[in-house]
Each structure stands twice: as C-alpha cells, then as structure tokens.
Amino acid sequence: MSLILNLIWLVFGGFWLFLGYAFFGFLALLLVVTAPAGFACWRIAGYVLWPFGRVVVRNPDAGVGSALMNVVWFFVAGFWISLEHVITAFFQAVTIIGIPLAVANLKLIPVTCFPFGKAAVPSAWARAHNVVPLGEFSL
C-alpha cells in the first residue's frame, strides 16, 4: 500500500517539494555557518520524495546545537518551505483523491520548520525498537 501512496504522492506534489528542498539545500551550502542546514535540507528532501512507510523520531543525542540550528534553519529555509507545503496542500485538496495527500502534506510542516534533532526511519524499525514516532506519515 505504501508503494501506491508514494507513487501518487510523487506525481501530485512530492517531486516539486523535493525540488524546493534541493534548491534551499544548495542555497544553505553557500555559507559555512548554514552548511549543516543544507545537509539537513537534503536529508528531508529524501523523506519528502518517498515518505509513506517511514516515521519521524526524535534523536536522543540532540542537544543545544540542534536547537540553535533549528533557529537558523527556520529563517534560512524552514519558513519558506513550509509555505511551499501549504500551497501544495491547497492544490492537492482541490480533488477528492488529493485531500488525504493534503492532510499528510500539512503533517510535514513541523518537521520542515525544525528538522534538527529528528530522523526519518522505517515504520517497522520504529515498532521493533519501541520508538515513539513524532507523527506517522500514513493515511
């Protein structure tokens, strides 16, 4: 089922979101200070390209550095990419088949705004290790 959902997601918004993440990831790599934000952007781009069947979990090793980078990230790219999610969700919600995708798209906004200290892992791995997801990306 997740294969079908991922293919529908890819066609109806996932690819364009991926391009937005890749663009902001490239921009973030232009400065040394924002380079970690660029790498985080590309990590999230992979999640946004193929999200179903994976969950976002909190990284237990995250500390003050992650919190500080989340602030930098929010101003460099997080706010702008979250707007991209809202716009994409609006256009997905126009069709009946797109409404669940729009809801799932809006669930990505917290991860988009504050990605540091989080990781995307397969759902089966999270269940096997009794890790509580921050929000399962499923319908």
Q: What is the pLDDT of residues 50-70, one digit of tens each?
A: 888 888 888 878 788 888 888
Domain count for the chain, please give it. 1
pLDDT tops 90 at residue 90 = yes
Domain carrying residue 62: 2-136
CA dihedral 45, 49, 53, 57 (to 10 degrees): 10
Q: pLDDT per residue over 13-31, tens digit each?
A: 889 899 988 998 898 889 8
pLDDT tops 70 at residue 136 = no
What stretches of 1-139 adopt beta strand conformation (E)?
A: 54-58, 118-122, 135-136
Confidence band of 40 (pLDDT split at 50, 70, 90): confident
DSSP 3-state of 18: helix
pLDDT tops 60 at residue 110 = yes
DSSP state of 33: T
Confidence band of 135 (pLDDT split at 50, 70, 90): low
**pTM for the structure as a whole:** 0.78
**Cα Rg for the chain, rounded, in angstroms?**
15
pLDDT score of 122:
85
**Both structure tokens of 65:** 């550095």
